[in-house]
Amino acid sequence: MNPRARALQSLIRLRKTEVDQARAELGRVLAQERAAEMQLAQSRQQLENEQREVTAGRTSMEDFRVWLPAGRAAIERAHRLVFEAQQVTDQARAALTQANAALKAAEAVLARWQEEEREKEARREQNEVDDLSRRVRRVFG
């Protein structure tokens, strides 16, 4: 195999590895984002539960008033974590997109080179046929 073809195929393997790594990273950060969203949902649910307890008379308004700042702080923290996780997810998506683009570019370069090689071979074969045809005409012509 031609050294250039080997180099391009090695580059493609490297790019595929990068795509796999970027895909795995995206999966990891998506899981973190889902966990952050679940934490936010749980914090909001806790606030709703506490409000129901007060409304039902099972918890005093004073206890709710004491708990409320901590509950709101938990919701705010969870909301911030979701926002940060979404940013990390966006970056991971961008990295995957970039890795895919680099892979496609390397594959395109290899395909273009292979096509050029096929064209060169076809021209060589045609030149041989033409040369042979000229010789036959000289001998028999």
Which value, in Å, is the radius of gyration of the alpha carbons in the chain?
A: 33
* Torsion sign, CA atoms 12, 15, 19, 21: positive
Residue 37: which pLDDT band, with cuts at 50, 70 and 90? very high
CB distance 71 to 123 below 8 Å: no
- Give the per-residue pLDDT at 141: 66
pTM: 0.79
Rounded Cα distance, 52 and 44, in Å: 12
16 φ/ψ sector (left φ>0, alpha ψ -120 to 50, else beta): alpha
Report how far residue 13's alpha carbon sits from residue 19's, in angstroms, rounded to the nearest whole number. 10
How much is the pLDDT for 118? Answer: 96
Q: Give the mean pLDDT of 113-123.
A: 95
Domains of the chain in sequence order: 3-109 (1.10.287)
pLDDT at 139: 84
Distance CA 111, CA 117 (A): 10
pLDDT of residue 136: 87
Residue at 6: amino acid letter: R
| Residue 135: per-residue pLDDT | 87
Over residues 19-42, mean pLDDT: 98
Tell me the C-alpha distance between 6 and 12, whole Å.
Answer: 10
Spatial neighbors of 99 by CB under 8 A, at least 6 apart, are 15, 18, 19, 21, 22
Residue labelled with tokens 């940013």 = 87
Mark out the alpha helices in the chain (DSSP H runs): 3-56, 61-140
Q: What is the mean pLDDT of residues 32-40?
A: 98
